[in-house]
């Protein structure tokens, strides 16, 4: 759901300010009813928005998958002047936002879209979207430590992590490469799981998100989702989310 003036501005009807004036002047209808409240929220892909009787067409929903490089923040601007994901998103014609975030030093799979429902659907905890990480830990992890990662560890704020899939990829002299699949996403979760077992995370890459792998994409590259990938995401995450939302409205 988005503010009506934002939807008008994005559709190129007028600036945000001028769009507010159109609304307060009673020239905007949503689903046939005149709306003069500036706080009104609409779903640009479902609600029928009209200005002076003419339908406003929302931007077509688009979905891109990108390989976030290391040393880049996932926000659109950074007060410290570091590289931002906006540097990549600027090359995409539509106004897309990332689904969740990766830390500054973490590289890997990041979905970006202008479909707000898809963002909400993928981020809601109930969706339990799988996220696969390749983690370089300092030192050697023994079996009880690997089991602890699998069964749940207690983070610095007292939160106990949910079950995770954990495989050793390879052990080297002073560090271990481990693949971890999480279906939740707490802040800096993998780093904090490493701290909980006493092994610092030295390098972190998200290899896949919601079953979409970064294979074939170099850091900084992106591609559109294929039709099959998109229809799977809709079936698996978006449709159940919309059904739950409709059910809660009816309750």
Span near ligand URA by CB under 6 A; candidates 20-28, 35-43, 139-147, 188-196? 188-196
Q: How many residues bind ligand URA (CB under 6 A)?
A: 8
Judged by CB under 6 A, the stretch of 42-50, 185-193, 214-222, 223-231 that binds ligand URA is 185-193
Q: Which of residues 196-235 bind ligand URA (CB under 6 A)?
A: 204
Is residue 96 part of the contact set for ligand URA (CB under 6 A)? no
| Catalytic member of 43, 47, 78, 103 | 103
Q: Does 188 bind ligand URA (CB under 6 A)?
A: yes
Minimum distance, C-beta of residue 41 to ligand URA, in the bound complex (Å): 30
Catalytic: 147?
no
Could you write out the DSSP letters of every residue in the chain?
Answer: -EEHHHHHHHTTSS-HHHHHHHHHTT-EEETTEE---TT-EE-TTTS-EEETTEEPPPPPP-EEEEEEPSS-BSSS--TT---BTHHHHTTSSS--EESS---TT-EEEEEEES-HHHHHHHHSGGG---EEEEEEEES---HHHHHHHHH--B-TTSPBPPP-EEEEEEE-SSEEEEEEEES---TTHHHHHHHHTT--EEEEEEEEETTEE-TT--TT-EEEPPHHHHHHHIIIIIHHHHHHHHHHHH-
Residue (8 or 132) nearer to ligand URA, CB: 132
Output 5 or 106, the one with its CB closest to ligand URA: 106
| Binding flag, residue 103, ligand URA (CB under 6 A) | yes
Site residues (CB under 6 A) for ligand URA?
A: 102-103, 106, 188-191, 204
As annotated, the active-site residues are 103
């Amino acid at each position: 759901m988005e503010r009506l003036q934002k939807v008008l501005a994005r559709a190129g009807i007028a600036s945000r300010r001028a769009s507010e004036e159109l609304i307060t002047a009673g020239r905007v209808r949503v689903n046939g009813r005149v709306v003069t409240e500036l706080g009104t929220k609409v779903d640009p892909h479902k609600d029928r928005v009209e200005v002076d009787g003419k339908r406003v067409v929302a931007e077509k929903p688009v979905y891109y998958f990108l390989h976030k490089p290391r040393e880049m923040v996932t926000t659109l601007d950074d007060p410290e002047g570091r590289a931002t994901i906006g540097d990549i998103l600027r090359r995409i014609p539509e106004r897309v936002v990332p689904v969740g975030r990766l830390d500054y030093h973490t590289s890997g799979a990041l979905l970006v879209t202008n479909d707000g429902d898809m963002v909400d659907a993928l981020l809601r905890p109930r969706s339990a979207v799988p996220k696969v990480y390749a983690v370089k830990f300092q030192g050697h992890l023994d079996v009880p430590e690997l089991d602890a990662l699998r069964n749940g560890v207690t983070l610095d704020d007292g939160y106990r992590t949910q079950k995770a899939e954990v495989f050793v990829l390879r052990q080297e002299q002073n560090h271990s490469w481990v693949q971890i699949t999480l279906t939740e996403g707490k802040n800096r979760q993998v780093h904090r799981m490493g701290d909980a077992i006493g092994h610092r995370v030295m390098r972190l890459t998200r290899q896949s998100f919601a079953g979409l792998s970064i294979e074939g994409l170099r850091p900084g590259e992106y591609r559109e989702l294929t039709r099959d990938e998109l229809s799977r995401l809709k079936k698996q995450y978006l449709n159940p989310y919309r059904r739950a939302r409709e059910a809660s409205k009816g309750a």
